[in-house]
Chains A and B, each alone.
Chain A
Amino acid sequence: MFTAKEYLSPKSLEEIYTLNKKRPNAIAGGLMWLKQSHKNINTLIDLTHLKLEEIQDSPDYIELGAYVTLSQLINSKELYDVFGNYFEAAIKPIVGVQFRNTATLGGSVYARYGFSDIITALAPLNAQVKIYDGEEKLLPISEYAQRKKQREVVLSVIIPKENQASIYKSIRLTATDFPLLNLAISKSKDKTFLSIGARPMITKTLEISTPIKKSEAEKLVDNFNFGSNLRASEEYRRDIAKALLLEALTELKLILAETEDN
């Protein structure tokens, strides 16, 4: 458990940013992870006054505040209308309802954990992260995922409503475990993106052309690097990446029949 000397809810974004820049301070998201750290924090910063708990629907995009909980993502009608069960598939295996009721989107996005189901789900949707680091910026989440933590404040995630079909897959030891690997595909009108995460490195996203032949689809996995950790080996991750990719493409009906004779 961490220790903290002070707990503040500043009114302005500027104040929050300045306060958070000091090293022993930290922004409090859902605390699911922070509470497991042994940091000696000076000031814990709460973002309540920024009103980031809402899901805002616009004609072309959905904006998710950083304090939106994982449960809100699952239960959001706005997201369901565009993405169907996609977010549910990605998020429901995360621990349990009690956990998801307080774990925040912003916490997941800022932390950029290798195993993140959230980032893998958001990445192929062409989503953008709104951050503040002295000024407001919009960054594609696939780019943000690769960026170092710079004590910026995550404000929201903006998802364009371009999606035509999307699918989320993962393999876990038990139903609520971390993924050994996760994979998401989203197809919009003219583009298809493939994201693979928990490799165990953070999600990487690749534009792919679909429909695609099975033999070519298998080769796509070579664009991703994999590693070993306690949960799974590099080799196993590569194997299941292939398996999940073919499964996902098949379910999306994006596999072309092989025409060559073999």
Chain B
Amino acid sequence: MKITVTINNQLLERDVAPDLMLIDFLRENGYLSVKRGCETTNCGLCTVHLDGQSVLSCSVLAVRAHEKSITTLEGLQKEAEAIGDFIAKEGADQCGYCSPGLIMNIISMERDFLKDNRNEIDAQEIKTYLAGNLCRCTGYMGHLRAIANYLRTKGVKITGSLPENTALEPDKALRSVVKSPIKKDSKALTSGKPVYTDDLAPKNALIVKLLPSPYASALIESIDTSKALALPGIACVLTYKDVPNKRFTTACQAYPEPSLYDRLILENRLRYVGDPVAIVAGENEKVVEKALKLIKVNYQVLTPVLDVNTSKDNKILVHPEEDTVGHNDFFPSDIKRNLVFSGSEEHGNVEAELKGCDYVIERTYHTLQNSQTAMEPFTTFTNLDPYGRLVITSSTQTPFHIRRIIANALDIPKSQVKVIKPRIGGGFGSKQTSVSEMYPAIVTLKTGRPAKIFYTRKECFEIGSPRHEMKITVKIGATKDGKIKAIDLYTLSNTGAYNEHGSCTVGLSGTKSLSLYGRIPAQKFSFDVVYTNKVSSGAYRGFGATQGIFAVESAIDELAKEMSIAPDVLRENNMLTLGGGVPMYYNEPINSSSLDKCLEKAKTLINWEEKYPAKEINGKIRAVGLSMAMQGSGITGIDAASAEVKLTDHGKYLLNLGAADIGTGADTILAQIAAETLMCDIEDIVVSSLSGVDTDIAPYDAGAYASSTTYITGMAVFKSCEALLAHMVGQAAKKMEVKEAEVDFDGKSFIAKTPEGEKQLSLFELGYESGGGSIEVMNASKSHSSPVSPPPFMVGAVEIELDPNTGKVEILDYVGVLDCGTPINPNLVRIQAEGGIAQGIGMALYEDVRYDKKGKMLNNTFMTYKIPTRLDLGTVRVYIEPSYEPTGPFGAKSAGEIVINNPSPAIANALANAGVRLRSLPMTPEKILAELKKNK
């Protein structure tokens, strides 16, 4: 059908299919600011204006835009810049993937609100208007601060409850760190530039889709692809017969991977509902969808193992094959028992200590899978370069690991693969597994053509890499004087169909929870990780620590109650202190901690003394609860990163990074560290990774995981800059014909005080001289790995309101106080924390992955798996309580993961103070009411 539309004031005439949606029409015509985040009209990412009104372009037919006017963010660049600037100042642009849709809706909100010349707007109205715009990075508080500031410039007064500005005062002694410059990619992101994987994919790329297994466990008896292949427009249909018969792992871990090599790209054994049966590639989505329906498969349906409790030593094996092997002796497995990994460690004598305790409790806690739901779905495109090498452009946290994994998967030399990481629309750990890369990669190898896969939201849920389900039993004992003597913790972890991150996450469930009380006399940690026929679990922010801390921090409150002692006092008596090796924390020392101050401050801010434990107000119960948390900063002795810094021939710097900024602002933070070291402004530094990490060019970096980028890569940057400074001073001395020791550098000029008088050489001169050949070209590259993983600490305190008639919980006030060492960029730290807390609140209250009896996932869309909207979080307040970590860049530790660990136990403890102790997540209104009824 012919349609005539006006897009951003330009008339466009096109022939469109009657079922073409506006989002596809717009993206096909180059309006790439319009993003896709779901198929169920829930996310708001595709918001555009149709005749001036915000609409979801995913549910408007292109034909319905006939003779209408459409506006995308490309047509509102001035407004985008004005609003984007305020968002950027809060660090609230983050990954930016939801920014265009959000800004489109802010613009329409502004028009709606201001058309009647209103001069007062309530914060609640703003939240309500924008509730249909989901964001997973920021936790929404930064958006609200930014929008309020923006509207104030229009003369509008903002009333109602606004998140207070908790920003740290900048440190005057420092030039570029403990400062909050806006992210270097801010303008590109908030103006909707095409910087994400799908935006960059070649238009002629084959569309790749997967045929999912309908069964949790089955064997393919026969598969007939002939009808699908015969469809015009289908380039290839691949089955297990077409893939290398060599097992590998998709866990993005340093080699030798802790994970077993237990999977093939496709296999005739299917291990969970969704496990890919076939790969189809064709010219467009429609024909590929059609082809999927034409593949005939005969399945031999097998009985699955679905229950984490009965997997170990079950006679049914998830991996009966003989060729699954491990490469890392530290992670022994026994797959003939469905056991991926098991072990135990004890420090002190737990049994003896418990015998001497006046109080001993034992409780079991249960956490479910959770989905990270990065707003950008898993996306990859691949092509062969003119020299026959495979180029993978992908939304990944770990470009260097992807190179190895895909080479393994395809059984080709690693030198034949290069990986490009563009801007990423959020990860939260999900993209630390190579979820989507292998499928287009093998299509490109087979067909020689570019190929692209873009996961549906349903696929992100069903075949992604969610958090591990864990059942954790805590036995804990204390004496009358309030001293905890021993904790015994056992974790049963469900890794799902493949090993992946199962062997690693389980460790953190013990080490990062028990070490919060790391100086008590005795601790024991034992664990089993089992296979089941469910989607394989991966890495999700917190990485096992989240689950362990939910258990231990709940148990501490339960013990306190048993002892009739206040839970804050019990923590104060027993918390981890500064000092030498902590046995359960790999015997590492604690050189920096303000945990005690964090607790004190959180109590003050939530008004603990007055509010603890609970009060009844108008038939509702208001209660407070708190929890402590820790994490690590990189993996001790394993995480490695390098950086390269060059003096350019115009006297500025180029910082070449392999670190993966996935929306956190890492590129900017690392530039700040470089600027501080080089005594320049961050504007003087071009960061190569801003326009993408290319594994051919970038220095090696393990990637964005284990809370390592600021701490590990940051030190690599610092060391590289120091080395460059030395090189520059040497060359400056040579040029000025003075001794090196006589040269001083102030960031702009080299000054030599010689017996003959003062000589000077500007940085600019040094730069162009290096380009002219009279001195050396100056650059430096250093790597870093740390013998310790200093823990950041955090305390969360929450006030909830419980409706005892419905079980519904409202978050009234949430306070997070964080010790991340030195906050390099306080605004970005704060936004990480606010975002992590929001995810934690979702996990605590409603993020609920459920399966039917046959192992089919039931919560597999944004309609059924609910993540917090901006109306669900009350007020979240984050404060930084710095310490100084001597092994980190300018005293920094990590911040990215720890921030998700507090909400679940803090809310559980608040609920207990309101009368309901729940030990399984999520704590839905239904579970709460059932418990209240039991107690009656």
A residues adjacent to B (C-beta < 8 A)? 1-7, 28, 30-32, 35-36, 41, 44, 46, 92, 95-99, 101-102, 171, 173-178, 180, 230, 232-233, 235-236, 239-240, 243-244, 246-247
Contact = CB atoms under 8 A, between A and B. Distances in A.
Contacts of B864: 230
A239 B850 CA distance: 23
B777 interface: no
B582 to A, nearest CB: 39
B21 interface: yes
Nearest to B53: A101
A35 B21 contact: yes
Contact of A96 (B21, B63, B133): B133
A175 B811 CA distance: 12
Interface string B130-146: 11110000000000000
Contacts of A240: 805-807, 925, 929
B286 interface: yes
B19 A3 contact: yes
Which of B54, B109, B803 neighbours the largest number of chain A CB atoms within 10 Å of its CB? B54
Interface in B101-133: 105, 108-109, 128-133
B44 A96 contact: yes
A36 B40 contact: yes
A1 B58 CA distance: 10
B294 interface: no
Interface string B864-894: 1011110110000000000000000000000
A177 B863 CA distance: 7
B806 A98 contact: no
A175 B61 contact: no
Interface string B40-54: 111010010010011
B577 interface: no
B858 interface: yes
Contact of A102 (B60, B130, B869): B60
B173 interface: no
B411 interface: no
Contacts of B926: 180, 232-233, 236
B844 to A, nearest CB: 12
A31 B925 contact: no
Contact of A98 (B56, B807, B863): B56
A158 to B, nearest CB: 26
Interface in B888-936: 924-926, 929-930, 933
B617 interface: no
The 3 A-B residue pairs with the shortest CB-CB distance in the complex, in nearest-first order: A96-B132, A175-B871, A7-B18
Contacts of B760: none
Nearest to A242: B805
A44 B18 CA distance: 8
B18 A6 contact: yes
B1 to A, nearest CB: 6
B337 interface: no
Nearest to A75: B112
Given A175-B869, A175-B872, A243-B806, A7 B131 contact: no
Contacts of A98: 44, 47, 54-56, 105, 132
Contacts of A5: 18
Interface string B551-571: 000000000000000000000
B720 to A, nearest CB: 45
Which of A2, A41, A236, A246 neighbours the largest number of chain B CB atoms within 10 Å of its CB? A236
B56 A99 contact: yes
Nearest to A33: B41
A207 to B, nearest CB: 25
A99 to B, nearest CB: 6
B854 interface: no
Nearest to A175: B871
A44 B21 CA distance: 13
A31 B61 contact: yes
A1 B19 contact: yes
A3 B286 CA distance: 9
B866 A101 contact: no
A2 B63 CA distance: 15
Nearest to A88: B128
B175 interface: no
B132 A99 contact: yes
24 contacts: A3-B19, A3-B286, A7-B1, A7-B61, A7-B63, A28-B61, A31-B61, A32-B41, A35-B21, A35-B39, A44-B61, A95-B41, A98-B54, A98-B132, A99-B56, A102-B50, A174-B868, A175-B869, A175-B871, A175-B872, A235-B930, A236-B925, A236-B926, A240-B929
Given A35-B21, A95-B42, A176 B59 contact: no
B61 A36 contact: no
A235 B872 CA distance: 25
Contacts of B850: 230
A41 B933 CA distance: 49
Interface in B851-869: 858-859, 863-864, 866-869
B112 to A, nearest CB: 8
Contact of B871 (A99, A176, A233): A176
Nearest to B101: A98
Contacts of B105: 97-98
B703 to A, nearest CB: 32
Given A3-B19, A44-B18, A244-B806, A96 B60 contact: no
Contacts of B759: none
B132 A173 contact: no
B311 to A, nearest CB: 25
B807 to A, nearest CB: 8
Nearest to B868: A174
Contact of A95 (B21, B132, B808): B132
